[in-house]
Structures are given as structure tokens and as C-alpha cells.
Amino acid sequence: MLMRRIAMGVAVVLCGALLAMLAAAGVETEKGEPADADATEEVRWAPAVEPKALSDNAKRGLAWLQEHQLKNGAWGQGEESTQMGGGAAMKDAASVGDTCVAALALLRSGSTAAKGPYANSISRAVGFVCREVENSDKDSLWITSTRGTRIQSKLGQNIDTFMACMLLSEVKDTMPDKLGNQHVADALDKVLHKMKVNQKDNGTWGDQGWAPALAMSMASKGYNRAAQNGAKVDEKVR
């Protein structure tokens, strides 16, 4: 009961933060000027403040992530207690959701897929996510053949799709070459299509998982980030 109350409290906080972000989004043009609704220039998301320098602990964490990246560019969920149910069975199974989380952490450190100390790791991670999306069917909400991960059991079976939307939106037009940018664009378009055709009448994508409100928050944030970075989105979905 205590854990459920904590989860509900976290969900409320995250949903409130999302509403605040939408109400006062720090979207700027590439020139750093406030975005105008009638402006014709491309509008891209930009952080509202300049990030502070990374601590030594943060750098060690990033180095650990880089060291434990799988050969195919993905990350697994890592070890867990045997009492969690899966034990170590899924330790090194490539997980889209976990890969997106790790790649976003590397992105937040200041690297991109084209430059910075973690560029290669980010590029490989994006490549893995794109391949998973490309190999998925056209219309279901699934984008991965991996089933039974911890993040799916906690945040719902389709959290991989929402996390992929977020990652692909953030790396849009930032890959090292035109081919990479095209792969990202195609994969993002497919994810946005899947989200569009599977959205329920009440605006959600289902309530599976232990904390569905958190999955809904990630879905909303990913879809909005796609819009901020110039992807074609359906305003009815938003």
C-alpha cells in the first residue's frame, strides 16, 4: 500500500511538471529568439538554462554506461534481485526502453550522435532503436520483439514505444550523416503513426503496468518533443 501511494504521488508530481512545461515551454528558434506562432523558421527545442558542469560521480556513471553497452548498440536491464521474478534471465537482453534511457543520459551530458566523448555510443544506440522500429509491424503499438523486461512490467508493455519517440525526437537531424538522419526520420514517423492509430478515445494508450500515469507522461512528452523538433504530428493526438 505504501509503495502504491508513493507511485501515485510521483505520478501526480510528474503530470504537474508536464502541464507546467506545456504552459511555459522554453522553445526557442535557432537564433535564440522566442518562437512566434507565425514564424516560418524551423523551431527546435532548446534547454531553458545552461547546464552546470558534470560532477565526478556523474562522469563515472556515464563511463559505466559506455563500458556496459552491448555489441549491437543496446543496453540490457542489468541484474536484479531474484525476488523480482526475472532474476538474471533478462540481464543482457537488448531492451529498447533501457537503451533509450541510457542514450538520453549520454545526450544530457553534452554529447550528440555526431560529436562529443559519447558520440559513438549514442550513434550505436540510435541505430539499434531504428532497426527495432524498422523490423516491427506497421500498425500495432509494439516496436520490439523483446518481451518481459522490467521496464515493461513497471511502466506498461508499450513504454519502449514512448521512450523511442522521445529519443528519436531528440536526435532528429543531428546524426553524423544524411543516411543516419533519414533512418531516424523514417523510424520516428513510424512510431508517431503507431501512437496515432492506437490512441484510445480517452487520450491514453491503455493502463497496463504498475504505474501507467508515468507511461502516459512519457508518451505525452515524447510526442510534444517530436512536435517541437519539427516532426509531423497529429494535433488531435496531442
Q: What string of DSSP letters covers 202-230?
A: TS-S---SS-HHHHHHHHHHHHHHHHHTT
Helix (H) or strand (E) holding 45: strand 43-45
Q: In the structure, what pLDDT confidence band is assigned to residue 155 with cuts at 50, 70 and 90?
A: confident
Q: In the structure, what pLDDT confidence band is assigned to residue 45 with cuts at 50, 70 and 90?
A: low
Residue count of the chain, please give it.
238
pLDDT mean over 114-131? 97
* Most confident among 17-21, 35-39, 92-96, 101-105 (mean pLDDT): 101-105
Query: What's residue 88's pLDDT?
Result: 63
Give burial (CB, 10 Å; 0-12/13-18/19+) of 152: buried
Query: What SS3 state is found at 29?
Result: strand
Ramachandran assignment for 73, one of left (phi > 0), alpha (psi -120 to 50 degrees), beta (any other)? left
Query: What's residue 81's pLDDT?
Result: 55
**Whole-angstrom distance, CA of residue 167 vs CA of residue 161:** 10
Query: What's residue 198's pLDDT?
Result: 94
The DSSP-derived string for 126-165 is: HHHHHHHHHHS-SSSS---S----HHHHHH-TTHHHHHHH
Does position 164 have pLDDT exceeding 70, yes or no?
Answer: yes
Could you tell me which of 35, 58, 18, 59 has the C-alpha nearest to residue 162? 18
Return the domain boundaries, the chain.
51-228
Beta strands in 76-132 (DSSP E): none
Query: What SS3 state is found at 74?
Result: coil
The strand pairing partners of 201, in sequence order, are none
Taking the CB of residue 139, how many other CB atoms lie within 10 A of it?
10
Per mean pLDDT, which range of 9-13, 92-96, 101-105, 132-136 is the poorest? 9-13
**Whole-angstrom distance, CA of residue 162 vs CA of residue 174:** 20
pLDDT mean over 21-35? 39
Query: What's residue 96's pLDDT?
Result: 95
pLDDT mean over 102-117? 94
Does position 6 have pLDDT exceeding 90, yes or no?
Answer: no
Between the alpha carbon of residue 181 and those of residues 83, 92, 127, 172, the distances in Å are: 42, 28, 11, 7
Cα atoms found within 13 Å of the Cα of residue 124, Cβ hemisphere only: 17
Does position 7 have pLDDT exceeding 80, yes or no?
Answer: no
pLDDT tens digits for range 62-97: 999 999 999 999 998 876 655 555 556 666 778 999
Query: What SS3 state is found at 28?
Result: strand
Residue entry with cell 509491424: 137
